Amino acid sequence: MSKKPLILGIESSCDETAASLVTENEQGIPVVLSNIVSSQEDVHKEFGGVVPELAARSHIEKIDSIVKKAIDKSGKKIDEIDAIASTAGPGLIVCLSVGLSFGKTFALTTNKPFIAVNHLEGHALSPKLNSKLDYPYLLLLISGGHSQYLSVQSIGKYQRLGTTIDDALGEAFDKTAKLLEIEFPGGREIEVLAEKGNPEKFKLPKPIINKGGCNLSFAGLKTAVLKISKTIKNDQERFDLAASFQKTIEEILYKKTIVAFNEFEKTNSPKEKKFVVAGGVAANKKIRAMLIKLCEEKNYQSIFPPIEFCGDNAAMIAMVGLEKFKLKLFSDLDHPAKPRWPLDEDAVFLKGAGVKL
């Protein structure tokens, strides 16, 4: 029995300090041995958003104990680790620098290879944790900072089919939560409120629903929520607005995903009809249920990471590390932290006012 690679993953791109050990079984399926995530929600709550300086300080305070916990929990020894994989971008530079420097130092002092990982690639590969998934596949990445449809051809090979031209979906959830007076980060709480509301109560806009291919836009929706939130008189209306917002998102994703399917099918064969949904918003059960149903209608296999791997974590970083290790794709120790690092480097930057579709 040959020794399977054992990878230490480290994540600190935003407000989660995380470390994980991942290996694979005899069938080549990745196995998560430990997955430690320390969230900073309490640090940022009173400011209504992530404060970079405070986030970086918190990473510095916790990183060594989190990595130690991950190693202890895995039952493995430092000597047994084959490579260290750290997130190098995209994200907040002061935060990225903590996990990146820690990973490089760990690699240097233990004389092991270092692997710089793109955080978005971590989300893209997260469904591979504990299950088998072959390339290619269509990916919908919906997180706090990104909303994209990508054709995933292999590790490092992505074609962006569509992206948001303004807010990310998680951002739209968080901003709506703020308007409904839910504490930061309120995105997941919208789902809870929505269960008690009438989704038909408020009619909200679906920006660029009939144009722009599978590009997305949520800014106009947020403005509409802002206007209505000023007229809200009681809790029931708050629940109704949360439900109406969530239903509008479902309708947007339903329509845009069909467009993305058509785009994907132009360059991929019918037997490759696999649809992966990843990122923090993929934890939303209503959105999951709607996309699963759509996949059944369109003969796609729907694949979601387990809920614990939807939000930011280091297991997904170790997962990318594992694939890169097998391909001997190692990084130099002067690899920079990259605040902006698109998966499809050739795709045009679409974000910003005045975008024409």
Alpha-carbon distance 29 to 24, whole Å?
5
Alpha-carbon distance 102 to 153, whole Å?
31
| Contacts of residue 93, Cβ cutoff 8 Å, sequence gap at least 6 | 337, 339
What sign has the CA pseudo-torsion 262, 264, 270, 274?
negative
Nearest CA-CA partner of 110 in 65, 67, 69: 67
121 binds ligand KG4 (CB under 6 A): no
Segment contacting ligand KG4 by CB under 6 A, of 35-43, 70-78, 101-109, 181-189: 181-189
What sign has the CA pseudo-torsion 121, 126, 132, 133?
negative
Map the footprint of ligand KG4 across residues 191-250, applying CB under 6 A.
191
Q: Which of 86, 143, 244, 257 binds Zn ion (CB under 5 A)?
A: 143
Nearest CA-CA partner of 62 in 34, 105, 95: 95
283 binds ligand KG4 (CB under 6 A): yes
Map the footprint of Zn ion across residues 306-325, applying CB under 5 A.
312
Q: Which is nearer to ligand KG4, 99 or 279 (CB)?
A: 279
**What proportions of the chain, in percent to the nearest 5, are helix, strand and coil?**
45, 20, 35
Q: Name the residue with the smallest CB distance to ligand KG4.
A: 187
Shortest Å, Cβ 325 to ligand KG4: 23
90 binds ligand KG4 (CB under 6 A): no
Residue 30 binds what, of Zn ion, ligand KG4, none (CB under 5 to 8 Å, by partner type)?
Answer: none
Q: Which of 5, 197, 207, 311 binds ligand KG4 (CB under 6 A)?
A: 311
Q: Which is nearer to ligand KG4, 186 or 207 (CB)?
A: 186
The amino acid occupying position 345 is E
Nearest CA-CA partner of 245 in 186, 302, 296: 186
- Binding-site size for ligand KG4 (CB under 6 A) equals 17
Establish whether the linkage from the previous residue to 305 is cis, with ω within 30° of 0.
Answer: no
Token pair in block for residue 218: 């949520």
Map the footprint of Zn ion across residues 73-132, applying CB under 5 A.
none
Q: Which of 30, 103, 127, 145 binds ligand KG4 (CB under 6 A)?
A: 145
176 binds Zn ion (CB under 5 A): no
- Binding-site size for Zn ion (CB under 5 A) equals 2
166 binds Zn ion (CB under 5 A): no
Segment contacting ligand KG4 by CB under 6 A, of 33-41, 75-83, 138-146, 254-262: 138-146
Shortest Å, Cβ 178 to ligand KG4: 11
Alpha-carbon distance 312 to 13, whole Å?
9
Alpha-carbon distance 356 to 349, whole Å?
12
Q: Name the residues that contact Zn ion, by CB under 5 A.
A: 143, 312
Q: Name the residues that contact ligand KG4, by CB under 6 A.
A: 143-145, 170, 173-174, 185, 187-188, 191, 279-281, 283-284, 311-312
